[in-house]
Amino acid sequence: MASSHLIPTYKRQPIAFARGEGVWLFDTDDNRYLDALSGIAVNALGHCHPALVAAITDQASRLLHTSNLYEIEVQTRLADLLCERAAMEAVFFGNSGSEANEAAIKLARLHGHARGSDCPRVVVMEHAFHGRTLAALAATGNVNAQRGFEPMPEGFIRVPYGDLAAIEALDDHRIAAVLVEPIQGEGGVRVPPASFLPDLRALCDRREWLLMIDEVQTGIGRTGHWFAHQAAGITPDVMCLAKGLGGGLPIGATVVAGRARELFGPGSHGSTFGGNPLACRAALAVLETIDDQGLLSHAQAMGESIRSQIEARVGELGCVVDIRGAGLMIGIELDSPCPELVDAAREHGVLLNVTAGSVIRLLPPLIIGPAEVERLVDTVCDLIETRAAATSTTQNTA
């Protein structure tokens, strides 16, 4: 399909989809594909979930947009529900994960200035990904994504992911906050040590830093908890959400508590489209459906089934470095780059992607069932076994 008038910022796969149903997508020739990517962790309820379709249809027939110059009743209801689920206090709504992280960075700077710093600093992690806007890109630990857009905005101090000692060793009075993903998604589905987030929470408390957690990919049930940090038994000062929150409609949220609660005031931040009635109604439907259908525990069970089955079948192959993740956020790291597996999987009717060069990333909808899990596991394991056999043959021939 020709795309001559699109700016080529994406290396698109040679396929277009016409419709979706549950965990399945259908291309323009009506071929069926198991969606194990969910629009990159967006389609939490799969495709065309009846509850989400009904909510969007009803809201679209009533009211799409009024702006944040007025009260938006459905926005207030969504904020209440998010704060209840997160045990936090207030929400700012935007349109994307990048915007949610930008708001968090602005909060960190306000906090730093309030503490007397003229040049506040935010501690960020190697291999992190926080978005494509300039400040979020500067916080991102990927030089390839940054290349050509220098100079990056200043104000960030980078440390190895999961390394509490490296953060403790920082001696800089300008530090105002730490921004961290509870599991790094684009960075390779990297999981920190179990003690990292609780110890980081305690360190931020001692030093009066904001703990800002980027849950853009991990939030909204993806890991089997409403938010991945809840597995560590902590509450952040700032939490960034997007992706799965709208179930397919764009919405982002920056949720705050404690010392971050009063930093924003009238005129200090804003968004024309953020929190509009349509997006908020969709997000309410997503949250309510996750509750009604018990999808948190379901995601935990299905994720454990996927990981254990893959481990049992290919875990001992020399090419498999690690199988990791939480809930339905799963990474299978191989010992060398494997981008060709994206095309190979698609040819076998499964949609997935490879991140960090050598990590097969699986992000299926939270509604995936045992039969679809079996199909996904069989396909992924077949691809890994075929690749391992081909590599072994090549080595033996050499």
CATH number of the domain within which 301 lies: 3.90.1150.10
Same domain, 67 and 124: yes
Give 62's Cβ-side CA count (13 Å radius): 13
Same domain, 307 and 222: no
Clarify whether 129 is annotated catalytic. yes
Query: Is residue 345 situated within a structural domain?
Result: yes
- Is residue 36 pLDDT above 70, yes or no? yes
Q: What does the pLDDT look like over 227-258, one tens digit per residue?
A: 999 999 999 999 999 999 999 999 999 999 99
- Is residue 133 pLDDT above 60, yes or no? yes
- Is residue 386 pLDDT above 60, yes or no? yes
- Give the pLDDT confidence score for residue 397 in this predicted structure: 66
Average pLDDT score over the chain: 96
Average pLDDT over residues 7-19: 95
Same domain, 287 and 335: no
Name the band, by pLDDT with cuts 50, 70 and 90, for residue 393.
Answer: confident
Same domain, 232 and 366: no
Q: What does the pLDDT look like over 139-190, one tens digit per residue?
A: 999 999 999 999 999 999 999 999 999 999 999 999 999 999 999 999 999 9
Query: Is residue 2 situated within a structural domain?
Result: no
Among residues 235, 266, 292, the one where a domain terminates is: 292
Same domain, 284 and 367: no
Same domain, 31 and 132: no
To the nearest whole percent, how much of the chain has pLDDT over 90? 97
Query: Is residue 231 situated within a structural domain?
Result: yes
Q: How far is CA 142 from CA 129, 136, 158, 308, 361, in A?
A: 7, 11, 11, 31, 18
- Give the pLDDT confidence score for residue 390 in this predicted structure: 86
CA 27, CA 9: separation in Å to the nearest integer?
22
Query: Is residue 57 situated within a structural domain?
Result: no
Structural domain range at position 273: 63-292
Same domain, 85 and 176: yes
Clarify whether 237 is annotated catalytic. no
Average pLDDT over residues 310-332: 98
Average pLDDT over residues 287-294: 98
Residue of 35, 214, 227, 237 with catalytic role: 214
User: In total, how many domains does the chain have?
Assistant: 2
Name the band, by pLDDT with cuts 50, 70 and 90, for residue 398.
Answer: low
Among residues 243, 262, 292, the one where a domain terminates is: 292
Of residues 160, 211, 167, the one with CA closest to residue 187: 160
Same domain, 224 and 303: no
Query: Is residue 8 situated within a structural domain?
Result: no
- Is residue 219 pLDDT above 90, yes or no? yes
- Is residue 1 pLDDT above 60, yes or no? no
Average pLDDT over residues 109-125: 97
- Is residue 123 pLDDT above 70, yes or no? yes
CA 105, CA 65: separation in Å to the nearest integer?
27
Residue of 196, 227, 243, 264 with catalytic role: 243
Query: Is residue 346 situated within a structural domain?
Result: yes
Same domain, 207 and 267: yes
Give the other-Cβ count within 10 Å of 140's Cβ.
Answer: 25
Residue of 92, 93, 129, 264 with catalytic role: 129
Same domain, 80 and 210: yes
Same domain, 287 and 306: no
Clarify whether 243 is annotated catalytic. yes
> b/e for 208-226, b at 16 or more Cβ within 10 A?
ebbbbbbbbbbbbbbbbbb
Query: Is residue 212 situated within a structural domain?
Result: yes
Average pLDDT over residues 262-279: 97
- Is residue 80 pLDDT above 70, yes or no? yes
Same domain, 388 and 315: yes
Q: Check if the beta carbon of residue 357 is closer than 8 Å to that of residue 368.
A: no
Q: What does the pLDDT look like over 85-104, one tens digit per residue?
A: 999 999 999 999 999 999 99
To the nearest whole percent, how much of the chain has pLDDT over 70? 98
Query: Is residue 287 situated within a structural domain?
Result: yes
Q: Check if the beta carbon of residue 160 is closer than 8 Å to that of residue 126.
A: yes
Among residues 250, 272, 292, the one where a domain terminates is: 292
CATH of the domain at 271: 3.40.640.10
